[in-house]
Amino acid sequence: MDAFREKLIALLHEPNYSWNTIFQILKRDPMLEYFYSFSSLSNPQQEFFQSFAQNTSGKAFNPEKIRKKIQEYDKNGIAVITIFDKVYPQYLKEIYQPPWVLFAKGDVSLLEVEPKLAVVGSRQATQYGKNAIRMLFPELIKSGVLIVSGLAKGIDALAHEYAMKNGGKTIAVIAGGLYHIYPKENLKLALEMMKSGLILSEYPPDTKPLKWHFPARNRIISGMSRGTLIVEAKRKSGSLITANYAVHEGREVFSLPGSIFNPYSIGANELIQQGAKLVISAEDILEEIMDKIYLKT
Question: pLDDT tens track of the chain, all 297 residues?
Answer: 588 898 899 889 888 888 998 998 899 888 888 766 544 444 455 555 555 554 554 455 566 777 888 889 999 999 999 999 999 999 999 999 999 999 999 999 999 999 999 999 999 999 999 999 999 999 999 999 999 999 999 999 999 999 999 999 999 999 999 999 999 999 999 999 999 999 999 999 999 999 999 999 999 999 999 999 999 999 888 899 999 999 999 999 999 999 999 999 999 999 999 999 999 999 999 999 986 544 444
Q: Tell me the sheet residues that pair with 101.
A: 82
Domain boundary residue among 29, 52, 75? 75
Helices (H), 56-124: 63-75, 90-93
Kindly write down the DSSP assignment for every residue of 107-122, as one continuous string.
Answer: -GGGGG-S-EEEEE--
| Element spanning 172, H or E | strand 170-173
User: Cα dist. 99→6, 45, 76, 265, 285 in Å?
Assistant: 16, 26, 22, 31, 27
CA distances from 289 to 90, 190, 222, 236, 254 (A): 16, 27, 13, 27, 11
Question: Can you tell me the distance from the alpha carbon of 185 to that of 202, in angstroms, rounded to the nearest whole number?
Answer: 22
Same domain, 61 and 132: no
Which residue range(s) make up the domain with 65? 3-75
CB of 118 closer than 8 Å to CB of 227: yes
155 with 277, same domain: the answer is yes
pTM for this prediction:
0.90
No. of helices (H) and no. of strands (E), the chain: 12, 9
Residue 67 shares a structural domain with residue 178:
no
Domain boundary among 31, 59, 75: 75
Residues 70, 112, single domain; the answer is no
